[in-house]
């Protein structure tokens, strides 16, 4: 029979191991990457994600934010998610479509009527089915966030009609759907990773860029771009993604908490967009931008619809029309 002191040692060791295991759980920190500043809609989403998961796990899961492309451009971040060097991210569909091609359907110009229409599509069966495509590409997508409708800025002149676009060299994402449409409109689309854009604008390598007001305001593009045209040509979703290495290592309970945090992040981004839609134009006007609000969107849309047959082949006419017909 083992002496009493030995039994006490075994018990103490077991308790110590249990405490160490709990401490290790408490110190679990996930690296979350995104391309913009902490003051942006991405930052608002990351903050909401961090607060939600911290509260639901009593601090057992913490989030370390890597803003401003600190872990690389979006393509590098996606590859990091796939191999487990990045734990979580907020991404644009301009990047995800290169990995999950079906997500590119949301980037078709003049597809959505307004924010309410877009949100209903993303929160419904269509959005959920596309989230389910990510695991096939080594990614786990938890929820659709938001950037808002994209508008055009440039340093040359006001843009009101498609004719005003002729010859303008405009930075775009590495997005073939956008590029096809922009070429049809007569501009010179220039694909470029976001971290390179500020320098390119400063050096005059490009004349302008296109992004939602949430980006135009938070990135302070008014310091480099004189003209803003409210073209509203594309709705910009975002998606909250985690690495399968992180997700698969979690209990069902913690997976549910991740999902809850992602939905909180999505709402945080939407709240940010709603606010900037109300206040952004006033901010940009004070910062010296000249804003063209009476853009002939109908004429823009008419020209872009010439290339819709290409999009029908790529994504199916049925899917595109089901999005358009969502009420």
pTM of the model: 0.84
The residue written with tokens 């010179």 in the block is: 188
Domain that holds residue 146: 29-324
Q: What is the pLDDT of residues 77-115, one digit of tens each?
A: 999 999 999 999 999 998 899 899 999 999 999 999 999
11 domain-assigned: no
Instruction: For residues 274 and 146, give the distance between their C-alpha atoms in angstroms, rounded to a whole number.
Output: 10
Contact by Cβ (8 Å): 260, 55: no
pLDDT > 90: percent of the chain = 86
| CATH label of the domain that carries residue 65 | 3.40.190.170
8 domain-assigned: no
Over residues 115-144, mean pLDDT: 97
For residue 183 the two structure tokens come to 């070429």
Q: What local confidence, expressed as pLDDT, does residue 20 receive? A: 38
Q: Where are the alpha helices (DSSP H) in 32-71?
A: 41-56
10 domain-assigned: no
190 domain-assigned: yes
Over residues 34-58, mean pLDDT: 96
Those residues whose C-beta lies under 8 Å from the C-beta of residue 23, and which sit 6 or more positions away, are none
- Number of H helices and number of E strands within the chain? 14, 9
151 confidence band (pLDDT: 50, 70, 90): very high
Report the first-to-last Cα separation within the chain, whole angstroms. Answer: 76
Q: How many domains does the chain have?
A: 1
For residue 46 the two structure tokens come to 């990351």
For residue 308 the two structure tokens come to 């819709």
183 domain-assigned: yes
1 domain-assigned: no
pLDDT over 80 (residue 16): no
157 domain-assigned: yes
4 domain-assigned: no
Instruction: For residues 233 and 181, give the distance between their C-alpha atoms in angstroms, rounded to a whole number.
Output: 10
Contact by Cβ (8 Å): 194, 200: no
Q: What local confidence, expressed as pLDDT, does residue 4 receive? A: 54
């Amino acid at each position: 029979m083992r002496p009493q002191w030995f039994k006490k040692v075994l018990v103490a060791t077991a308790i110590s191991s249990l405490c160490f295991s709990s401490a290790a759980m408490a110190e679990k920190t996930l690296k979350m990457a995104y391309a913009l500043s902490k003051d942006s809609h991405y930052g608002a989403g990351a903050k909401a994600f961090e607060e939600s998961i911290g509260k639901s796990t009593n601090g057992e899961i913490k989030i370390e934010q890597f803003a401003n492309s600190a872990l690389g451009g979006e393509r590098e971040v996606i590859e990091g998610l796939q191999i487990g060097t990045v734990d979580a991210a907020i991404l644009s569909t301009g990047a995800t479509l290169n990995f999950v091609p079906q997500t590119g359907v949301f980037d078709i110009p003049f597809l959505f009527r307004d924010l309410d229409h877009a949100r209903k599509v993303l929160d419904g069966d269509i959005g959920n089915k596309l989230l389910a495509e990510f695991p096939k590409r080594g990614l786990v997508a938890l929820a659709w966030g938001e950037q808002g409708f994209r508008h055009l800025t440039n340093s040359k002149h006001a843009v009101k009609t498609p004719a005003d676009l002729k010859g303008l060299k405009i930075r775009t994402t590495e997005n073939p759907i956008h590029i096809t449409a922009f070429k049809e409109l007569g501009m010179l689309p220039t694909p470029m990773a976001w971290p390179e854009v500020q320098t390119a604008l400063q050096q005059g390598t490009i004349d302008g860029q296109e992004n939602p007001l949430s980006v135009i305001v938070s990135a302070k593009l008014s310091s480099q771009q004189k003209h803003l045209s409210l073209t509203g040509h594309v709705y910009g979703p975002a998606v909250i993604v985690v690495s399968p290495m992180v997700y698969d290592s979690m209990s069902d309970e913690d997976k549910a908490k991740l999902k809850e945090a992602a939905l909180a992040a999505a709402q945080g981004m939407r709240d940010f967009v709603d606010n900037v839609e109300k206040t952004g134009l006033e901010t940009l006007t004070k910062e010296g931008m000249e804003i063209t609000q009476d853009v002939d969107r109908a004429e823009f849309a008419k020209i872009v619809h010439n290339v819709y047959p290409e999009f029908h082949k790529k994504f199916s006419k049925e899917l595109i029309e089901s999005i358009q017909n969502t009420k």
